[in-house]
Amino acid sequence: MSVLCITGTSTDVGKTVTTAAVATVAAAAGLRVAVCKPAQTGVADGEPGDLAEITRLAGPDIDTLELARYPEPLAPDTAARRSGRPLLSLLDVVAAVRELDATHDLTLVEGAGGVLVRIGADGFTIADVAAALDAPALVVAAAGLGTLNHSALTVAALRSAGVRCVGTVIGSWPAAPDLAQQCNLEDLPDVAGVPLLGRIPEGSGSVAPEEFGAGAQEWLAACRLLPEPVDPLLRPRG
């Protein structure tokens, strides 16, 4: 079994669409895939959240689990305190992911916001979750100015926590990239120190599931998500 934590350089960089794309590629390879979203914020009870979007894009065969929901669009620990709802604990998140992973070939854990956003009690982050699970992380980055610094800082934070970063994915690649975006495409692997594994075209989250499924294979596989260097994560284990 394998766990991959998916984090971002900031909020709104395309983590959910990237998570759906990875899930789609893995499911197409014949793997049993689950996605855990420890904390969903900014969505009221009964409303569809990020996991509903992943199910829409990647298909109903992807099992999903949300552990906590807070209605205000804030960092999870802040949103929990303001709502009066219980904060998540690191132990509870790790236990839930391990339970999912016991019955799946690949379990994706989507964080909230950037890598050091506090998820719950004692200020634990997605980096702490990955470290506790001994799981690698994938970083979703923006395309434009600032992404080199933000990506390098995110990878450094993961390494400081003892987490291996498998690479970056640009979560929203424009149809007409400007000069900075084109240069970032070349410079990102060198500056961040990890491979660039893919780029998701902007607006991909709004396409039909069939189009998304076909596109995910190109967006990620063509950029070496398969077979290198993440193939061990996407290979069933006995």
Q: Which two tokens stand for residue 102?
A: 């016991």
Of 14, 35, 37, 79, which one is the catalytic site residue?
37
DSSP code for 10 = S
DSSP code for 217 = I
Distance CA 93, CA 115 (A): 16
Distance CA 135, CA 111 (A): 13
Q: How many residues does the chain have?
A: 238
Distance CA 163, CA 157 (A): 9
Q: Beta partners for 77?
A: none
Does residue 15 carry a catalytic annotation? Answer: no
Return the ∠ at Cα 105 (arms to 18 and 166), rounded to 5°.
Answer: 45
Q: Which of 155, 160, 103, 104 is nearest to 128 (CA)?
A: 160
Which residues are known to be catalytic? 37
